[in-house]
Structure 1
Amino acid sequence: MPVNLADQLKQQALAQGFAVAGVASTSAGGRMPLRTAALERWLAAGYQADMAWMNNPKRLAVQQLLPGVRSLLAVGLNYYVDQQQGVGVARIARYGWGRDYHRLIEQRLKRLGRWLELQQPDSRWRVCVDTAPLLDKAWAEEAGIGWIGKNGNLISQSHGSWLLLGHLLTTCELTPDAPAIPLCGSCNDCLPACPTGAIAEPFVVDSRRCIAFHSIENRDDTLPLPLHGWVAGCDLCQEVCPWNKHHAKASTDPELQPRNWILQSKPQELKEWDDNQWDEALRSSALRRIKPQMWRRNLGCL
């Protein structure tokens, strides 16, 4: 096996448009046992709210996702763009401004998997985006592309936390990168920035108090807390992060550029949309997870 196969794979990942890429070994060790224990404590505290899928036991054992897995490639897709939402516009988290990132990351990782298979014909691989039961942020940290910050997001020295994560699991044994070193230091800016107190303590997010959770995942007719101007997700803890203020880089990827209605639509206008208008606006969008009745409910909270 070529000794530089890992470097070649990372170069291929950057050529596919990913901002960062790193490799981790999936053998036991590193910080993963600690991250697994932290997940179990988080679940025991009920911080997952209604997200029952977080209890999937496969999340604790990467080998169940791909038998014989030996390495993984972690990638980050930079979704920060120069544009800003207009004054008085219903606030929508940046992850949903462009095309559905699940499809973008999956398509690009599949190309990398096919490239890797050409180099190692006997190898097997699997693509994982955030819908797979994988400790994605922990593995990204282990692969060296960023560290898990006090707001629970992965933070990169080069791009801040405006990264959407994906992973390519493989039976190839690739030379791993060094795990990322946490660099939040004494900064706690993200904790008071959350108006609902969802960051229960540094590194621990209580979904039951999270605006993003309730605006996206909560299917109830009414919400237990105010949304503070947000109707889809929330970026407050990212907007105050010094790493984002000083290291965010604008993406020129055409697939990630914002749709006009997201930048310009006022709440009153959106309240008048019927289901067909929502269906059209949300085509090929990750925001499609929020159903029309949920949009109307969220807008009614403003």
Structure 2
Amino acid sequence: MTLHAHHDLALRLKQQAQQLGFDPVGLAAVPAGERLELRTAALERWLAAGYQADMAWMADPRRRAVEQLLPGVRSLLAVGLNYYVEADRAPGALKVARYGWGRDYHRVIDGRLRQLGRWLEQQVPGVGWRACVDSAPLMDKAWAEQAGLGWIGKNGNLINRERGSWLLLGHLLTTLELPADAAATTLCGSCSRCLPACPTGAITEPFVVDSRRCLAFHTIENRDPELPQAITSKLEGWVAGCDICQDVCPWNQQPLQSSEDADLQPRPWLLNLQAEEALGWSDADWDTKLRASALRRLKPWMWRRNLRASRSGTA
């Protein structure tokens, strides 16, 4: 394939991704060079400090070696799916992180990336590809940064100039060598609004999040029968995830485009979640309400634990 043909295919691949609802999109070369090496070293330090808590999968060695996910990988298309929806919770409702408002993003992104992979195969028969969502052992934010989608902010989230940090990420790995986009430049500057905003001090220093103190970790990943008192007393109404460090970010306070994507529209009950009512729901009720939701990760007993904790935390 000529250089011109590679550039043309890269452009058409991005256009196809945009037609599937992804924006921004960008390409990174594999191997990526020094920045990825620095990000990998930072992950090693984070793991060594024990900040991953019980999330053993963060130590999967494949996370630090993209070649193990797709032998012969030469390029990576990073895609972002805007999940910001202009909708308000009902007064007094408990809080659920925005990423869980719509359909399970793993399914949504994976399905669309697979469509993209099949399109690529039609253009270049025999090409190798693999779709990856955040359940795959890949440094997804680091690769998205490398592909120019945005920069990793001091709160650990990927931030885009136009979209802020309300982006769900996906990646299409391919054995094709495609022209890479420029990596993103960090634009947090001297702002550190997210650090003091975290009620538990989980952002221990810029760019470092200690999961052991994070409300999102405890409400979603912690499998203990009760939440630690230090967490319960600081829940501030959050019962499934937490968006505080994103809500205070100046990049999220600009006028943002509200997603019209049907898969991302909020389920009404998530915007009007009341502890007393929800504590009366059976396991079957929860099963129905959480059908095709990323929040199925929380079992009914965990929802009840979190709901009870939210009441005692405000008592």
**1:83 aligns with one of 81, 87, 98:** 87
**1:126 aligns with one of 130, 148, 159:** 130
| Structure 2 residue aligned with 1:210 | 214
1:157·1:247 contact (CA, 8 Å) conserved in 2? no
Taking the aligned partners of 2:44 and 2:257, their CA distance within structure 1 comes to: 35
Secondary structure (helix, strand or coil) at the match of 1:23 reads strand
**2:191 aligns with one of 164, 187, 190:** 187
Taking the aligned partners of 1:28 and 1:13, their CA distance within structure 2 comes to: 22
Q: Which amino acid aligns with 2:124?
A: Q
| Structure 2 residue aligned with 1:272 | 280
Secondary structure (helix, strand or coil) at the match of 1:4 reads helix
The alpha carbon displacement at 1:247 in A equals 4.8
1:70·1:173 contact (CA, 8 Å) conserved in 2? yes
| Structure 2 residue aligned with 1:73 | 77
Taking the aligned partners of 1:55 and 1:248, their CA distance within structure 2 comes to: 35
Taking the aligned partners of 2:255 and 2:213, their CA distance within structure 1 comes to: 28
| Structure 1 residue aligned with 2:104 | 100
Moved over 3 A (4+): none
Q: How many residues align?
A: 302
TM-score by length of 2: 0.95
| Structure 1 residue aligned with 2:150 | 146
Instruction: Note if 1:56 corresponds to 2:47.
Output: no
- The percent identity for this pair of structures is 67
TM-score by length of 1: 0.99
Structure 2 regions of 5+ residues with no counterpart? Answer: 311-315
Instruction: Note if 1:161 corresponds to 2:165.
Output: yes
Show CA shifts across 1:216-240 (max 9, x none): 0000011111222100000000000
Structure 1 stretch displaced more, 213-222 or 26-35:
26-35
Taking the aligned partners of 1:237 and 1:248, their CA distance within structure 2 comes to: 17
1:160·1:247 contact (CA, 8 Å) conserved in 2? no
Label 1:86 to 1:242 Cα distance change in 2 as closer, same or farther (>3 A).
same
Q: Which amino acid aligns with 1:129?
A: V
| Structure 2 residue aligned with 1:262 | 270
The alpha carbon displacement at 1:119 in A equals 1.2
2:17·2:79 contact (CA, 8 Å) conserved in 1? yes
Structure 1 regions of 5+ residues with no counterpart? Answer: none
Taking the aligned partners of 1:94 and 1:50, their CA distance within structure 2 comes to: 23
